[in-house]
Structure 1
Amino acid sequence: MGDPLPSPQRPLDHTPVHTAELPDTPLRDRAIPATAWAEAPASLLALGDDLPDTPVARYVRRIGPWLLWRAGPPRKAEARAWAARADEVDTPAHQAFTFLFAPDGTGDGVGPSGARHTRFRTWKEDLRDTH
Structure 2
Amino acid sequence: MSEELELEQDAITTVREFFAALELGAVEEALDLLHPDVVWKNTSLPTVGGGLTRRILRGLNRDTIGFAAEMRHIAADGDIVLTDRTDILRVGSVRIAFWVCGTFELRDGRIILWHDHFSWENFLRGTVVGLVRAALPNR
Please say whether Structure 1 and Structure 2 have the same fold, judged by a TM-score greater than 0.5: no
Larger RCO, structure (CA 8 Å, separation 6 or more): 2
- Structure number with the higher strand fraction is 2
TM-score, structure 1 length as denominator?
Answer: 0.33
Taking structure 2 as the reference length, the TM-score comes to 0.32
Look at both structures and tell me which one has the larger radius of gyration over its CA atoms: 2
